[in-house]
Structure 1
Amino acid sequence: MDAAKTRRRGAKLKDALLTAAWEQLVADGYGRFTFDTVAERARTSKPVLYRRWGNREELLRATVRHRGASLPPAVPDTGNVRDDLVEALRSAAGPENSVAAMLTALASSHFDDVGLTPGELRAEMLGSRTSSVSAILERAVARGEVDACALTPRIVDLPFTLFRHEYVMTFAPPTDAAIVEFIDEIVMPLITQRS
């Protein structure tokens, strides 16, 4: 009777499965992200997973979406664009951050094996939300700190492009000094340049 009371069902079960899948991905990387290892970590059976996801790629996408939805990106509001951008990158570099953990988990795997590009995984994690940098820059335009004409899609993505590049090249989040350098020496001159 006790087993029936504690049995997970519906949304509670799905949440537990996807949480276990994320933990497995971060702990052992994509190479050991299998239905067997996820089922073992979730303390369930493979058929429970296969009833919801047909293959490893579907499970990976669902895992990344679930993690992204559970930890929406922080949008710092310090009162100025420079400090907001620095804080957004500092937050992304933190040990609890989903993007950093995902990059670590996938770094040892070839994306051909994963079946998804890093951009596709990022889109899965963000879902329909806008990035924290977009929100920060929209606010900065409204305050008159940033020239809206300077905000091309590539420039809006630049802070996290620099972040991701550093991560891929070093397999570690950027240092605080690197984050400050990204913002002060590269991003700020581009976004505050008046035409």
Structure 2
Amino acid sequence: MEARAAAGDRGTRRRGPALEATILDAVWAELSEVGYARLTMEGVAARARTGKQVLYRRWANRAELVVAAMRHRGGSIADEIPDTGELRGDVLAVLRQTVHRHRDTGQDVIRGIMADLPDLHPEFFTVMSDVMTTILERAAARGEIPSARLPVRVVTLPTDLLRHELLLSRRPVTDETLTGIVDDVFLPVVRAPR
């Protein structure tokens, strides 16, 4: 019966979103079985029952494929930017989402992607800056901060500090850590008169 199902899969040509979902699900199955370091485009293609050229038409390399699988699995923070009605709540929500995604993804995958950062499309590096810019623009419109026009290092300060905690501290990131980033560092900087 399994052989017939496999033959049926090969006889039905998958396209578009259905094919992409199959591929991205195959990425997670491969990651859990072989880990990031041993993940290959060939292995994913075989598991998804497609050719590796199909993968390369959509993703330039392994890192981009894994990031796409992460977004397929958990969405992108940019798709649902928190809007709690206050700057503090919005920034804490983004940081909590990031911690949750980091735990969900696992250290093996995160470290693998970090090693392959040069292979990622430049868009990967602007997502959090864009999210934080939106949050700051909303806060400025509500009158919580003088302006949303801030240096990029200030805009990304909370996410940069969180990345440091996640990757270098070797301690679990607690809610106390997140509130410290927001209350002790970020909010005083963005609320200061320019």
The TM-score bracket by the shorter chain reads 0.7 to 0.9
Q: For residues 194 and 26 of structure 1, do their structure 2 counterparts lie closer, same or farther at Cα, with a shift above 3 Å needed?
A: farther
Equivalent positions of 1:8-87 (< 5 A) are 9-11=14-16, 12-25=18-31, 28-42=34-48, 44=49, 48-53=51-56, 58-65=61-68, 67-68=70-71, 71-73=75-77, 74-87=80-93
TM-score after normalising by structure 1: 0.74
Shift in Å at residue 193 of structure 1? 0.4
1:131 lines up with 2:137 in the alignment: no
Gaps of at least 5 residues in structure 2 are none
Give, in whole Å, the separation in 1 of the partners of 2:122 and 2:107.
10
* 1:175 counterpart residue number: 174
Q: Is the 8 A contact 1:166 1:174 kept in 2?
A: yes
CA distance in 2, matches of 1:171, 1:23: 27
- Write the deviation string for residues 103-156 of structure 1: whole angstroms up to 9, x where unpaired: 641416772xx3x339x46733867x9632221111001111112276211111
Alignment partners' CA distance in 2, 1:166 and 1:33: 27
Structure 1 residue matching 2:61: 3-state secondary structure: helix
Deviations 1:12-50 (A, max 9, x none): 1222112322453466542121134324543x25xx123
CA RMSD of aligned residues (A): 3.5
Q: Write the deviation string for residues 54-111 of structure 1: whole angstroms up to 9, x where unpaired.
A: 7x952431442454367131322221101111111111111xx279727641416772
Distance in 2 of aligned mates of 1:13 and 1:182 = 41
Percent identity between the aligned chains? 26
Look up the SS of the partner of 1:31 in the other structure.
coil
Corresponding letter in the other structure for 1:137: L
In structure 2, the partner of 1:164 is 163
Q: For residue 105 of structure 2, what is the amino acid of its counterpart? A: A
Distance 1:186 1:121 in 2: 30
| Corresponding position: 1:93 with 2:99 | yes
CA distance in 2, matches of 1:30, 1:52: 17
Give the structure 2 partner of residue 117 of structure 1: 118
- Paired with 2:181 and 2:170, the residues of 1 have a C-alpha distance of 18
Aligned CA distance change for structure 1 residues 153 and 26 (closer, same or farther; 3 Å): farther
